[in-house]
């Protein structure tokens, strides 16, 4: 299933588990209870003989799960030198600060310029509105006070980290065999998706979701500008995509280009 490379990384061949998808790319599914149900998200690790890059970081409190998931695909966590954040949402930046604080090696955080002030804690996260914070007080009596207070604290003081590298749509990052940033605004204003050239994999972030095994457009409940998010799908057409990884729902690989064309014209 895998072989040791000179760099000491384990390279996996395509695996039916749908988790380890190709040379130098693997999904890192991690789960957390969110509003009473288990929610699984799919950060991704990319690597080559020089570096390993983590794409998104999970909900707050999932640091050890994230590290365990990395170890399980054969990437030691201290090989991570870069963290790419597709956008500012809490389930994507959740362990960013904890990762930086616990890392023995310097980490370069990268995001789109429009997301940077939010990730750096200069501005309140766009989805943590006054209304969202006020709604905590309307939770049922059965929700413990300590939980409410914790949630409020998190919304007012989410994890943060300096963004050292600003990434623009169309930019090709020479990391892990080549990674192209694609502007996909809508879910948030500076949302980016990534195309990994060696494995022909689209990391869609939250621009698309996989729901019941099917690739779908953006989630209306969490997308700030749905019209813009739908328009962004057309940008995927110029890449020869064989597989899509959605942060919510994981891997999709059935007639990908055809499905993307359907979604882009819908
Ligand atoms: Zn998300």
Domain annotation covers residue 54: yes
- The reply to whether 150 falls in a domain is no
Q: Cα separation of 215 and 102, whole Å? A: 35
Whole-model pTM?
0.91
* 215 assigned to some structural domain: yes
Output the CA 175–ligand 1 centroid distance in Å: 24
Quick check: is 169 in a domain? yes
| Residue 4 CA to ligand 1 centre (angstroms) | 33
Q: What tokens were used for 112?
A: 């789109």
Which strand (E) or helix (H) includes residue 258? Answer: helix 256-265
Number of domains, the chain: 1
Domain, as residue range, for 217: 2-121+158-265
Across the chain, which distance is largest between two alpha carbons, in Å?
58
Specify if 126 maps to a domain.
no
Per-residue pLDDT of the chain (266 residues; tens, 9 = 90+): 333 333 333 333 344 344 656 679 999 999 988 777 889 999 999 999 888 999 999 999 999 999 999 998 889 999 999 999 999 999 999 999 999 999 999 999 999 999 999 999 999 999 999 999 999 999 998 888 998 999 999 999 999 999 999 999 999 999 999 999 999 999 999 999 999 999 999 999 999 999 999 999 999 999 999 999 999 999 999 999 999 999 999 999 999 999 999 999 87
For residue 175, tell me if it sits in a domain: yes
Residue among 182, 173, 197 at smallest CA distance from 24: 197
Q: Specify whether the CB–CB gap between 164 and 206 falls below 8 A.
A: no
- Domain membership of residue 84 (yes or no) is yes
How many angstroms is it from 106 CA to the middle of ligand 1?
A: 26
User: Residue 223 Cα, ligand 1 centroid: separation in angstroms?
Assistant: 10
């Amino acid at each position: 299933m895998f072989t040791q490379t000179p760099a000491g990384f384990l390279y996996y061949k395509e695996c039916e588990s749908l988790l380890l998808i190709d040379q130098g790319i693997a999904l890192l599914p991690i789960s957390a209870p969110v509003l009473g149900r288990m929610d699984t998200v799919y950060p991704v690790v990319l690597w080559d003989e020089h570096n390993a890059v983590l794409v998104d970081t999970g909900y707050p409190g999932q640091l050890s799960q994230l590290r365990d998931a990395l170890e399980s695909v054969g990437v030691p966590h201290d090989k991570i030198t870069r963290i790419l954040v597709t956008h500012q949402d809490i389930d994507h930046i959740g362990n960013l600060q904890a990762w930086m604080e616990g890392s023995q090696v310097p980490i370069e955080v990268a995001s789109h310029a429009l997301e940077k002030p939010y990730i750096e804690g200069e501005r309140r996260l766009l989805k943590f509105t006054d209304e969202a914070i006020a709604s905590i007080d309307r939770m049922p009596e059965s929700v413990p006070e300590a939980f409410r207070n914790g949630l409020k604290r998190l919304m007012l003081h989410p994890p943060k980290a300096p963004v050292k590298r600003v990434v623009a749509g169309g930019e090709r990052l020479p990391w892990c065999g080549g990674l192209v940033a694609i502007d996909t605004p809508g879910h948030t204003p500076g949302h980016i998706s990534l195309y990994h050239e060696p494995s022909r994999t689209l990391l869609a972030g939250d621009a698309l979701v996989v729901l019941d095994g099917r690739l779908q457009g953006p989630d209306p409940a969490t997308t700030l500008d749905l019209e813009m998010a739908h328009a962004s799908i057309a940008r995927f057409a110029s890449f020869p995509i064989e597989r899509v990884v959605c942060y919510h729902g994981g891997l999709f690989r059935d007639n990908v280009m055809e499905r993307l064309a359907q979604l882009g014209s819908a």
